[in-house]
């Protein structure tokens, strides 16, 4: 008798037991303030300042009234260009209160990129740091201002106009703020975030109150957050990781957000966790690698840590195991997503095994759907079969600001966001990310996934971090090159040494032909590896050989 085994399609829906939050960010903050007025809300360690929820609400409302007095109203775009600091958070919530759309500007941008974002989104008011890490923000603003017709106001943090804005607010009428807030809808746009596109200009993903408030809330729910949690956020605020998974996850649960430093610093982060008894720590894998390798790591008291989030790029198994064992983050969560989905689509759970947390990006989040499709046909593939990951639900962006054609390319007619990521869904609905469709290397007809090879090479005792890319090859079309960061004191690896390590353990066509030892990888501010830059540099390197 012939037995037919049915394989389920790669499609899964999230739980709906906890309802979506149907409120604006401002209303949600006010609700938390009423519940926990005296609990810590925000701690800026580097500046030595802290706010309770009642104090945070007073400063947010004062700034919101100042913006209204200046003439900023719902729908106006307000840009913020600064590293992590408490004022960033005040601006985030003040703009949300009045319905202005916060445009987050990458702190690494230079004048050309700044000018593009100011004009593309039509920023009316720009709040900026005066300078940071050798970047003279004030000078760059003055350089581009004559070519930015929509830009009416520039406010430098800590400057006289910033003080004036807050003074205006102190004299404002709270009833005016209440009227402005009452006119808002959760579906209104509240944030534009520019994706770090690998070619051409970035696109502005437009996100609503409903998008990011719910995403922050459910990420926090799956981390088990309560008002007793203290979350250390060294990831940049200008990105969803900082302002959604960080700020909104905290304020929707009454937890405290701790800012360790204006920009990522491993020692400052570890010191902040110790000083503020943080229960949760965020980071991309490269940040955790740097913390684990920090001088004096074993001297920090990290016993308060319970959970945390790794996201932004795939986490090597070795790093995940070290974070659990050496940092005590037994409930650490892996999140996967993208700016266009607010950002998290899948997440590991507190009760997931270590194996699940080191080998997958978890299961679909509440009130969301995911599926894996054939990139050519769009058909949903059987579980266990690789394909493109797609997401649908409350988290999908409103669209790319002012670019309907590009929006239609990314979000299909049924509301599915096509991520461009290759994934495999297992029988239990857990997803593994195998790479980007564009990162896949085709060597002599063999489809090679860099993620698999990177995981293997992370097992080498001298390797701190590794990235694998495809480079042009006359014979096979593409060959593999491994970019390697060495552990301190280790001798640089050669291609021969890598081949010897891989021999008999990896198929011959998966063994990198070239090895390039570097101190750092090119990456975005959010910690995503820029493999496009790596491929360009590799091509130049091979031409010179």
CATH number of residue 113's parent domain? 3.40.50.12780
525: pLDDT strictly greater than 80 = no
Residue 198: its pLDDT value, please? 41
- 307 and 376 both lie in a single domain: yes
- Of 3-7, 169-173, 399-403, 482-486, which gets the smallest average pLDDT? 3-7
Q: What pLDDT, on a 0 to 100 scale, did the predictor assign at position 3?
A: 44
What's the average model confidence in pLDDT over 246-262?
A: 98
Same domain, 43 and 114: yes
Q: Are residues 446 and 319 in the same domain?
A: no
* Banded model confidence at residue 160, pLDDT cuts 50, 70, 90: very high
pLDDT computed for residue 341 by the predictor: 98
Q: Could you tell me which residues come within 8 angstroms of residue 102 by beta carbon, excluding any fewer than 6 positions away?
A: 78, 79, 80, 91, 92, 95, 96, 190, 191, 192
Q: Give the mean pLDDT of 360-379.
A: 95
| Poorest-pLDDT segment among 80-84, 179-183, 470-474, 514-518 | 470-474
Indicate if the pLDDT at residue 440 is higher than 80. Answer: no
Tell me how far the alpha carbon of residue 332 is from its chain's centroid: 16
**What is the CATH classification number for the domain harbouring 536?**
3.30.300.30
Between 85-94, 214-223, 249-258, 448-457, the lowest mean confidence (pLDDT) is in 448-457
Residues 411 and 532 in one domain: no
pLDDT at residue 200 in the model = 56
Looking at the structure, tell me whether residues 361 and 457 fall in a common domain.
no
Let me know whether 421 and 446 are in one domain. no
pLDDT at 505: 82
Q: Model pTM? A: 0.86
Domain that holds residue 168: 25-425
Residues 233 and 129 in one domain: yes
The order of strands in the sheet holding 230-232 is 49-52, 40-44, 256-259, 230-232, 280-283, 307-310, 333-337, 344-347, 363-364
Q: How many domains does the chain have?
A: 2
Provide the pLDDT for residue 503. 86
Task: Give SS3 for 346.
Answer: strand
Residue 433 inside a domain? The answer is: no
Q: In the prediction, which pLDDT does 196 show?
A: 61
% of the chain residues with pLDDT over 70: 97
pLDDT recorded at residue 285? 85
Residue 217 maps to a domain: yes
Torsion of CA 280, 192, 194, 92, to 10 degrees: -40
Q: What is the mean pLDDT of the chain?
A: 93
Last-in-domain residue among 384, 400, 425: 425
pLDDT digits (tens, 9 = 90+) for 30-79: 999 999 999 999 999 999 999 999 999 999 999 999 999 999 999 999 99
Q: Is residue 16 part of a domain?
A: no
Query: Is the same domain home to 490 and 398?
Result: no
Residues 415 and 462 in one domain: no
Evaluate whether residue 368 is within a structural domain. yes
Residues 465 and 354 in one domain: no
Give a yes or no: residue 15 inside a domain.
no
419 and 483 co-located in one domain: no
Domain boundary among 374, 396, 425: 425
14 occurs within a structural domain: no
Task: Show contacts of 296-302: CB within 8 Å, 24+ apart.
Answer: 296/267, 297/270, 297/326, 300/270, 300/271, 300/273, 300/274, 301/274, 302/270, 302/273, 302/274, 302/327, 302/328
Domain boundary among 366, 392, 425: 425
- One domain for residues 474 and 333: no
86 lies in a domain?
yes
Q: Is residue 18 part of a domain?
A: no
């Amino acid at each position: 008798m012939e037995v037919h085994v049915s394989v389920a399609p790669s499609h899964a829906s999230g739980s709906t037991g906890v309802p979506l939050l149907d409120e604006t960010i401002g209303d949600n903050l006010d609700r938390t303030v009423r519940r926990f007025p005296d609990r810590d809300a925000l701690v800026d360690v580097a500046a030595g300042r802290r706010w309770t929820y009642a104090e945070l609400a007073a400063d947010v409302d004062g700034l919101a009234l100042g913006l209204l007095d200046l003439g900023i109203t719902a729908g106006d775009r307000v840009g913020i260009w600064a590293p992590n600091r408490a004022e960033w958070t005040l601006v985030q919530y003040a703009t949300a209160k009045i319905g202005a759309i916060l445009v987050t500007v990458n702190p690494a941008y230079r004048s050309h990129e700044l000018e593009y974002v100011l004009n593309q989104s039509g920023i009316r008011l720009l709040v900026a740091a005066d300078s940071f890490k050798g970047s003279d923000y004030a000078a760059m603003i003055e350089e581009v201002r004559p070519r930015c017709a929509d830009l009416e106001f520039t406010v430098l943090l800590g400057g006289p106009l910033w003080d004036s804005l807050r003074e205006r607010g102190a004299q404002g009428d709270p009833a005016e703020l209440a009227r402005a807030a009452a006119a808002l809808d959760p579906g209104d746009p509240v944030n534009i975030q520019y994706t770090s596109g690998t070619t051409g200009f970035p696109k502005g993903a437009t996100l609503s109150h409903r998008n990011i408030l719910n995403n922050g809330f459910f990420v926090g729910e799956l981390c088990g957050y309560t008002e007793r949690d203290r979350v250390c956020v060294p990831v940049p605020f200008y990105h969803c990781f900082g302002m959604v998974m960080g700020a909104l996850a905290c304020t929707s649960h009454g937890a405290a957000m701790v800012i360790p430093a204006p920009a990522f610093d491993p020692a400052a982060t570890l010191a902040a966790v110790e000083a503020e008894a943080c229960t949760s720590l965020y980071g991309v894998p490269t940040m955790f690698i740097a913390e684990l390798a920090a001088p004096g790591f074993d001297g920090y008291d990290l016993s308060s840590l319970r959970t945390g989030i790794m996201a932004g790029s795939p986490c090597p198994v070795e790093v995940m195991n070290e974070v659990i064992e050496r940092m005590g983050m037994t409930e650490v969560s892996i999140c996967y997503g993208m700016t266009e989905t607010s950002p998290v689509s899948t997440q590991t759970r507190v009760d997931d095994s270590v194996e699940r947390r080191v080998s997958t990006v978890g299961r679909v989040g509440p009130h969301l759907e995911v599926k894996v499709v054939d990139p050519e046909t769009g058909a949903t593939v059987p579980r266990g079969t690789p394909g493109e990951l797609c997401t649908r639900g409350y988290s999908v962006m409103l669209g790319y600001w002012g670019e309907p054609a590009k929006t239609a390319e990314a979000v299909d007619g049924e509301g599915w966001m096509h991520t461009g990521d290759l994934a495999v869904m297992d029988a239990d609905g857990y997803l593994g990310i195998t790479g980007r469709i564009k990162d896949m290397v085709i060597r002599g007809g063999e489809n090679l996934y860099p993620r698999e090879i990177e995981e293997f090479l992370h097992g080498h005792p001298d390797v701190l971090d590794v990235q694998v890319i495809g480079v042009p090859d006359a014979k096979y079309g593409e060959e593999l090159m491994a970019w390697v960061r060495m552990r301190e004191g280790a001798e640089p690896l050669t291609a021969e040494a890598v081949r010897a390590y891989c021999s008999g353990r990896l198929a011959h066509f998966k063994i990198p032909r070239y090895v390039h030892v570097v101190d750092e990888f090119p990456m975005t501010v959010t910690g995503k590896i820029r493999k496009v830059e790596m491929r360009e540099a590799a091509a130049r390197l091979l031409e010179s050989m």
